[in-house]
Amino acid sequence: MYVNMGLIGYPLGHTFSPVLHTHFLDITGINGGYTCYEAESPSSIPYLLDMFRRYSFAGVNVTVPYKIEIMKYCDALDASAEKTGAVNTLRFVNGKITGYNTDVYGFGRMLETAGISTAGKNILLLGAGGAARAVIAYLAEFQPDKLTIANRTVAKAGFLASLCSFKAVSSDMDSVRGGIYDIIINSTSIGLKGEGFPAVGAASEALVDLQYKPAVTPFLAGYGSGPERINGFSMLVWQACRSFAIWTGTEPEPDIKKLSDIAYRS
């Protein structure tokens, strides 16, 4: 058996996903491959999905900016996708597409291994896209004292705030620049193309970026020394493990340090 897997999104020049899944195939002894497909426009998504079915793909990951857009192509959603309102993993069975969200699991494992607790904290979340929805789904279980969601389009931040089961408010990016928070989480795509990311607010405990390349991301680089700074690499690994299990029935046991050495060396 050969397992076809892949990734769709735009841009994809930064991704480590092929490195991770190739490693998973190696350590599990499963024969397969993982390929990236850049979808510069949403109009290319139906063509890609037809191709995946035609070549019997087990599934694909979905990244920015299509984690919400892709939902309309799913025949079914599992509980994680229903809860989150975003999909980052597709599984193909008998021509049908089921959408999953493994980002919530990945985000939670990242915080857990870093020893970071969100319960009772004052948190600033930057961005209001599909990745932000995974953060909010996690926070619904480990509730902060207050969440501020800042986004370029305030209406999108306001919509996400209205979905929260805990205290949450929305803001534009400029209004939070002088604020002080316990934890600041970046879920935006700002910096993916190499542009700078000036500091937004100050954090007393932790800065968490869902981006992971370079190791000191543009968001993290915008801050001086002080609170703990974490990029999204371990989140990427954990969500990838869960996606791999959905497609193959086998969940790999990752060595984060080894994978980091491989990925950042590639």
156 tagged catalytic: no
The strand pairing partners of 62, in sequence order, are 8
Q: How distant, in Å, are the alpha carbons of 40, 163, 211 from that of 126?
A: 24, 16, 12
CB 51 within 8 A of CB 241: no
Q: Tokens standing for 138?
A: 């996690």
Residue with tokens 């996690």: 138
Q: Tokens standing for 19?
A: 């490195």
From the number of C-beta atoms within 10 Å of its C-beta (0-12, 13-18, 19+), residue 83 rates as middle
> How far apart, in Å, do the first and last CA atoms of the chain sit?
28
Query: Mutual orientation of helices 154-163 and 130-139 as an angle, nearest 10°?
Result: 30
Catalytic pick from 67, 121, 156, 167? 67
**Is 114 in a helix, a strand, or coil?**
helix
E-assigned strands of 127-236? Answer: 146-150, 168-171, 180-186, 202-209, 228-230
- The secondary structure element, H or E, covering residue 32 is strand 32-38
The residues assigned a catalytic role are 67
